[in-house]
Amino acid sequence: MAKLGTYSYPDIRFGDAVEIAGRILSKFRGTVTVKGLAWELTMAENSGTLFAKIAALRDFGLVEGRGELRISDLGRRILRPANPEEARQTRIEAFQRVDLLRALYEKFEGEAPDDSTLLIALEEISKAPREEIVRRFSLIQKHLGDVARAMRHLSAPVGAEHSAPSQQIFSNSSPRGEQPSPEPLADSSVLYLIAGGARLNAPLTPEYVDVAIGLLRALKASMEDTVKARVGASPVGASEE
């Protein structure tokens, strides 16, 4: 799991965690060993990425157990809700299990803060160094967007956010496959950045230029980690040639 100060939070987004939990329930009748899940996800059993995914499932309350993973009661109700209201309430319960996400949502009362306000809030809540906050900012921003969707309105089928285009709550979003275009800025003193999952709209000051640089560095590191994971993660049992 990822950490910011004393707060921990999932390394993967809620929709991805629900998708994995759905596989466990449908393919393994709700119970699978860590080794079996590694096979299912075509990952090495001791992979750090696998452990991060399992930790996220636990963080959201979707699974229980250690060597053997079992879909929890909450996980079953999320995957197979009796009605739309139960679907909404169980997702809220899952997000509220993550202290950092709950603190952010309560602070802003469900509203979407701008990027600079969110950065300041993360600094106040976590007491973490700004460099660490900038490094973690993009994923936390996405988590908070997922929280807002779950708590404000949940009309889509369970798991729909995993396949639907991502909704950005701090900046304009565009359908997947289209290149977002920044709106024309009347004030040249504004810093506006869109790069992959990173979004920044803040005053053009030396401090926020550093923030933008930090976001780009974090994005680059994330891309490099993804490439390494793809190269290093081969299907378990694959033979060497």
Half-sphere exposure for 49 (CA within 13 Å, toward CB) = 16
Structural domain that includes position 114: 2-172+183-230
Half-sphere exposure for 201 (CA within 13 Å, toward CB) = 13
**Looking at the DSSP assignment, which residues form a beta bridge with residue 142?**
none
For residue 190, being part of any structural domain is answered with: yes
For residue 236, being part of any structural domain is answered with: no
For residue 240, being part of any structural domain is answered with: no
For residue 237, being part of any structural domain is answered with: no
Contacts 24+ apart (CB under 8 A), 5-9: 5/125, 5/126, 5/127, 5/128, 5/132, 6/126, 6/127, 7/99, 7/100, 7/103, 7/125, 7/126, 8/59, 8/98, 8/99, 8/100, 9/59, 9/98, 9/100, 9/101, 9/139, 9/140, 9/143
CA 231 – CA 43 distance, rounded (Å): 11
For residue 10, being part of any structural domain is answered with: yes
Position of tokens 């995914």? 53
DSSP 66: S
Tell me how crowded residue 79 is: count the other CB atoms within 10 A of its CB: 20
For residue 235, being part of any structural domain is answered with: no
Tokens of 89: 């309430």
For residue 238, being part of any structural domain is answered with: no
For residue 112, being part of any structural domain is answered with: yes
Q: How many domains does the chain have?
A: 1
Q: Structure pTM?
A: 0.63
Position of tokens 């973490």? 128
Q: Give the pLDDT of the chain (241 residues) as one tens digit per residue.
A: 788 999 999 999 999 999 999 999 999 999 999 999 999 999 999 999 999 999 999 999 999 998 899 999 999 999 999 988 888 889 989 999 999 998 988 888 767 788 889 999 999 999 999 999 999 999 998 898 888 777 664 434 444 444 333 333 333 333 334 444 444 444 556 777 777 656 666 667 665 676 677 667 667 766 776 676 666 655 554 444 4
Got the DSSP string for 128-145?
--HHHHHHHHHHHHHHHH
At 241, which amino acid appears?
Answer: E
DSSP 56: H
